[in-house]
Amino acid sequence: MLKMLMCKLNLRHAWHIESSEDGSGRYRRCTRCGKYDRDSDGSGFMH
């Protein structure tokens, strides 16, 4: 699928904001490939 290709090429992920279990922080997780990304500044997409 094209969307999976977007994940594989690291072009775009379907980020979903989740909270850590102890509530001390947040992170993003891709709902398609499961990649984790720290939500440090909220706009840190690197291309």
How far is CA 37 from each of CA 1, 3, 8, rounded to the nearest angstrom?
Answer: 22, 18, 15
- Of residues 3 and 26, the one with the C-beta less far from Zn ion: 3
Closest CB 47 distance from Zn ion, rounded Å: 15
Q: Decide if residue 33 touches Zn ion (CB under 5 A).
A: yes
Cα diameter, the chain: 36
d(CA 14, CA 3): 9
Site size toward Zn ion (CB under 5 A) is: 6
Q: Decide if residue 39 touches Zn ion (CB under 5 A).
A: no
What is the binding site for Zn ion (CB under 5 A)? 7, 13, 30, 32-33, 35
